[in-house]
A and B are shown apart, each in its own frame.
Chain A
Amino acid sequence: MIETLVKFFDRLAVEHPQWDFIFFYSESQWLRLLSGIETTLLIAVAGVFLSVFLGVVGTFMLRSKRVWLWVPAKAYVETFCNTPPYLQLLFFYLVIAQITPTITAADGWTEIRLISNTGWVIIALAFYAGAINARIFWASIESVPQTTRDAADALGFSVVQSYKEIVLPLAFRVGLPAFTANLERLIKTTPYAIGIAVPELLYECRGIWNDYPGAMYPSLLVLFLSFAVLIGLIVKGMNQWSNAVRIRGIEG
């Protein structure tokens, strides 16, 4: 099966040089494409975990009554929601990365950064998506009315119990669609990493079509389809999930 496909693409490249799907018959280019997809997925997955963590911490700080907790959280959320993500990426990479410590390599004079370019993209995207997550989580907890909490209090629930049994299950269902939109936004922002030369999917595709001019249309096609399929599947899955857990009649 795979051999037939390889032969087909090999022949296609000979017959139509414009449609040179080089990564489907050349081992090295296939690995190159795969490594690009891998890096994009790595950025996305690590970014999601880190941004959810930042969102939860941010929400706790936003809900706190102590000024020294909620003021920094508010400042963080407002700043990162309202500036373009590409600018944030450049800020992290050009400003913060310059002042992080470096390790001297074995040869005695090469300096290696503690965090690689990929690491900085993950951090920048996580901070961007984390700010939006904090907003989403905060808004969904706020949408549970105080009377419901008072009722739980009157029934003898402790604070932890009322959060675990009443507030969080309701908030989760209300916030899930917005969280899906944020997830989509996070993955859509990953191509900006090309600006600081991170070997993700767009970067690798650009490399392939620069090296093999005949592979331009095929790599553009693969690039387009990979993003459409990846984000499409995730959004569809998340929407099904939010429909499955929905309780009719409670929203708004």
Chain B
Amino acid sequence: MKTPNILNSRKTPKTDLPVMLPFRYLDTGSTKGVYLSQWLSSTSPWSILLILAVILAWPLVAQAETSEYRNALTALGNWIPYLLKSGFTLNLLIAVVAMLVGTATGIALGSASLSSNYYLKSVANSLISIIRHVPWLVLLFVVSLSLPFEFDFDVILIILPSWFKASLALSLPVMVNVAVIVKEEVYSVNFNQWETAESLAFNPRQTLTHIILPQCYLSMIPKWLNLFVLITMATSLCSLIGIEEIVTLVHLAMEVETQIDYSVLVLPFFGFSLLVFLLFCFPIAKLATYLEHKHSISV
């Protein structure tokens, strides 16, 4: 909340009369999709234990018989190493590759949208606004189905595995979000600094790399981490296009365990995959919120 400063009020052109309280709802743009990580970091570690307790105490409230439920838990125990090793690792791989590709292209796109060249700027801006408005699931379908599964050059054969196509698809939303973050942060630095730098004979590129961007890095990192959490959670969508990540493998495991009733298996198996995602994202979300508070400029 801006307090009216009597000493400065004559210098600044702003008027103090119509004061509104700050709008506390932070999520105004799609880059700030921080619900999930805000919620994750605001929950205590106890809530994860609570989920575990629900999973263990489920047969007491449901009709599932205790012995059968114990069998289901034993079955889950046998599956855990496989689910983690070949399932969740793939989720992480998809997320990390998507973040790497998306960040590199996103920084380039963001810089292009700040360019003084009119054509470059408008191409970059329209690319951002087009991709930003398409649902992630649609992007996943479009990119992974339209890319060929191999590129056959005469000298070399490049095979594109399906997980790589999925991470290319997920790198598109990362790209536009990183571009918007770069743009917003550069705009958030006081514009007078550009003029000052120009008077000190910096060229625009030098101004950007030496003066403006160093001020932005710290406040970009929490947003980037939020994006990482969102992408990691979104990798579970890949099960809809048949990539063998953790949700697909959980389905598979439940199909294989035919001697136990399906309704008994649902909670431990899906609860386990939920827990894995929460356990991975929780520390990252905590870190993001901590950094955001640490580097936020209090007004």
A-B pairs with lowest CB-CB distance, top 5: A139-B25, A231-B133, A188-B135, A82-B39, A191-B137
Judged by a CB distance under 8 angstroms, whether A31 is at the interface is no
Across the two chains, which residue of chain B brings its CB closest to A227? B134
Task: Give Cα A251–Cα B15 distance, bound, in whole angstroms.
Answer: 12
Question: Is there a chain B Cβ closer than 8 Å to A56's Cβ?
Answer: no
Q: Is the CB of B20 within 8 A of A174?
A: yes
Of B55-63, B140-148, B195-203, B207-215, the one touching chain A = B140-148
Total A-B residue contacts, Cβ distance less than 8 Å: 102
Residue of A whose beta carbon sits closest to that of B233: A84
| CB atoms of A235 and B39 under 8 A apart | no
> Which of B28-36, B85-93, B186-194 lies at the interface?
B28-36
Interface of A is mostly: helix
CA distance A220 to B20 in the complex (A): 46
Q: Given A191-B135, A202-B138, A250-B20, are A228 and B130 also a contact pair (CB < 8 Å)?
A: yes
Q: Say how far B125's CB is from chain A's closest CB, in angstroms.
A: 12
| Known pairs A139-B23, A184-B133 / 18 extra A-B pairs, C-beta < 8 Å | A81-B35, A81-B39, A82-B35, A135-B25, A140-B23, A170-B20, A178-B25, A178-B28, A181-B29, A206-B141, A209-B145, A227-B133, A227-B134, A228-B130, A228-B133, A235-B133, A247-B18, A252-B2
Q: Is B21 an interface residue (CB 8 A)?
A: yes
A247 vs chain B, min Cβ distance (A): 8
B14 close to chain A: CB less than 8 A: yes
Q: How far is the CB of A135 from chain B (nearest CB, A)?
A: 6
B176 CB to closest chain A CB, in angstroms?
12
Q: Is A136 an interface residue (CB 8 A)?
A: yes
Q: Which residues of B contact A81 (CB under 8 A)?
A: 35, 39
28 contacts between A and B (CB under 8 A): A82-B36, A135-B25, A136-B25, A142-B21, A143-B20, A143-B23, A170-B20, A174-B23, A175-B25, A181-B27, A181-B29, A184-B133, A191-B138, A194-B240, A195-B240, A206-B141, A209-B145, A220-B146, A223-B141, A223-B142, A224-B134, A228-B131, A231-B134, A232-B130, A250-B20, A251-B20, A252-B20, A252-B23
**Pair A178/B27 contact, Cβ less than 8 Å:** yes
Contact B135 A142 (CB under 8 A): no
Residue ID in chain A nearest B136 by CB atoms:
A188
Interface residues of A in 119-150 (CB under 8 A from B): 132, 135-136, 139-140, 142-145
Cα of A65 to Cα of B203 in the assembled complex, Å: 59
Whether A29 is near chain B, meaning CB under 8 Å from some CB there, is no
A220 and B2 alpha carbons, distance in the complex (Å): 49
Minimum CB–CB distance for B269 against chain A, Å? 14
B145 touches A220 (CB 8 A): yes
From known contacts A181-B29, A231-B134, infer whether A145 and B145 are also in contact, taking CB-CB under 8 Å: no
Q: Which residues of A contact B233 (CB under 8 A)?
A: 84
**B133: chain A residues within 8 A (beta carbon):** 184, 227-228, 231-232, 235
Residue B6 interfacial (CB < 8 Å): no
Chain B contacts for A247, CB-based, 8 A:
18
Q: Which residues of A lie under 8 Å from residue B294 when comparing CB positions? A: none
Contact with B along A207-236 (1 / 0, CB 8 A): 001000000110010011001100110010
Query: Is B134 a contact partner of A143 (Cβ separation < 8 A)?
Result: no
A21 interface residue per 8 A CB criterion = no
CA distance A216 to B130 in the complex (A): 21
- The answer, yes or no, to whether B81 is at the interface (CB within 8 Å) is no
In the complex formed, the residue of A with least CB distance to B33 is A185
Beyond A140-B23, A145-B20, A217-B146, whether A181 also contacts B30 by CB under 8 A is yes
> Once the chains bind, are B21 and A145 in contact (CB under 8 Å)?
yes
The winner among B27, B36, B39 for most chain A CB atoms within 10 A is B27
